[in-house]
């Protein structure tokens, strides 16, 4: 009897509860968009080298100390054939919607415009949806002058007080 009750009433309850889940999320997105419109103009994506750390701004500003960076280099694609095909199909779909992205390279191919930082320990990345913190050991980002950034970064890593950890 309870199973029948659940089958009949669950669609009605879902319709009633669905807006209570998504309305706060839409309100949060609206507030973030309003803040984004009202704040002063600044570059959206940038990398800044400071004396003791590197600042990486993507969706938020991340300050990474040089002593946390184990190595830095160009990004090397590590995707298998099936994953590469799925990612490229996804990129092709979003290109139809106006996004600018380049295709994923073959396994072992080096992306000369993308820098990858590898860390000696796990770092946490904050995101706007649950579970809010994601651990990661590598960070990659695309820059205009990747080779110049890597040369400058290698110099700072070798001169950092603790040096790059092995």
Write out pLDDT tens, residues 33-84.
777 677 766 666 788 888 889 988 876 778 889 988 999 999 999 888 888 8
C-alpha closest to that of 154 among 77, 54, 56, 55? 54
pLDDT score for 165: 47
Looking at the predicted structure, is the pLDDT value of residue 154 above 80? Answer: yes
C-alpha closest to that of 138 among 119, 120, 166? 119
pLDDT 10s digits, 102-130:
888 888 899 998 999 999 889 887 776 66
106 secondary structure, DSSP code = P
60 and 37 within one domain: no
Q: What six digits make up the tokens of 95?
A: 């290109």
Looking at the predicted structure, is the pLDDT value of residue 93 above 50? Answer: yes
pTM: 0.63
23 and 54 within one domain: no
From residue 87, how far is each of 1, 39, 58, 90, 114 by CA, in Å?
A: 47, 34, 21, 5, 17
150 and 127 within one domain: yes
76 and 141 within one domain: yes
35 and 50 within one domain: no
Residue 7 structural domain: 1-41
In the chain, the number of structural domains is 2
């Amino acid at each position: 009897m309870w199973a029948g009750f659940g089958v009949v009433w669950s669609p009605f309850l879902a319709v009633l509860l669905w807006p209570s889940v998504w309305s706060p999320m839409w309100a949060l997105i609206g507030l973030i968009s309003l803040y984004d419109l009202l704040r002063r103009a600044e570059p959206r994506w940038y990398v800044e080298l400071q004396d003791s750390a590197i600042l990486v701004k993507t969706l938020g500003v991340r300050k990474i100390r040089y002593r946390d960076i184990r190595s830095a280099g160009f990004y090397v694609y590590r995707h298998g054939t099936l994953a590469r095909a799925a990612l490229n199909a996804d990129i092709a779909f979003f290109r139809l919607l106006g996004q600018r992205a380049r295709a994923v390279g073959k396994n072992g191919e080096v992306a000369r415009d993308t820098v990858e930082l590898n860390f000696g320990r796990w770092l946490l990345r904050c995101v706007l949806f649950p579970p809010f913190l994601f651990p990661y050991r590598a960070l990659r980002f695309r820059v205009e002058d990747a080779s110049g950034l890597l040369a400058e970064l290698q110099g700072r890593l070798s001169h950092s007080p603790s040096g790059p950890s092995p």
